[in-house]
Amino acid sequence: MKLRLSLLLLAALLAIAATDPALLAYPATLVRVKDGDTVVLNVVLADAQNVRTWSRGQTYRLARIDAPESNERRGPMARDSLRIWMINAQQLTVAPWRGVWQQDSWGRWIVEIMADGRNLNDSLVTSGLAVYRSY
């Protein structure tokens, strides 16, 4: 009985870890914002014994959303809002979408981006600057 309860608890914790971006978040610094749903970042993938492993200058796609391109209506507003939120953040982190590092067909890493604990993917949608999209 105790073993079964322990296994259920472990399964629940693993499920939460796979869906909660904050549990798999990596520190990041902004290089540039390409548009309202694509950014270039430097990300610290590991930090052990004062040795850091970096992913420098990689392109990241905000998961679950679609923002207008920079040359489309509201595109510049989405791009500039994302840039301002990221520049003003004290702590910027990225988490792989659904807990797994994966790339889209253009080679962009699909991620959730948090600025001071605020999910910017969701913030763009709630601000009316993007829409939710399913893959």
Phi and psi torsions of 4, nearest 5° = -65, -45
For residue 16, pLDDT beyond 70: no
> How high is the pLDDT of residue 81?
97
The CATH number assigned to the domain with range 21-132 reads 2.40.50.90
Say what percent of the chain tops pLDDT 90: 72
66/131 Cα distance (integer angstroms)? 5
CB 97 within 8 A of CB 18: no
Half-sphere exposure of residue 133, counting CA atoms within 13 Å on the CB side? 16
CA distances from 92 to 7, 9, 13, 132 (A): 34, 31, 25, 22
**Using 50, 70 and 90 to split pLDDT, how confident is the model at 13?**
very low
What's the token pair of residue 31?
Answer: 């290089």
Q: What is the pTM of this model?
A: 0.80
Q: What is the pLDDT of residue 55?
A: 87
Closest C-alpha to 134, from 99, 97, 101:
97
Reported as a single tens digit per residue, the pLDDT across 88-129 is 999 999 999 999 999 999 999 999 999 999 999 999 999 999
- When pLDDT is cut at 50, 70 and 90, the band that residue 28 belongs to is very high
Other Cβ atoms within 10 Å of 59 Cβ, number:
17
pLDDT of residue 23: 62
pLDDT for position 45: 85
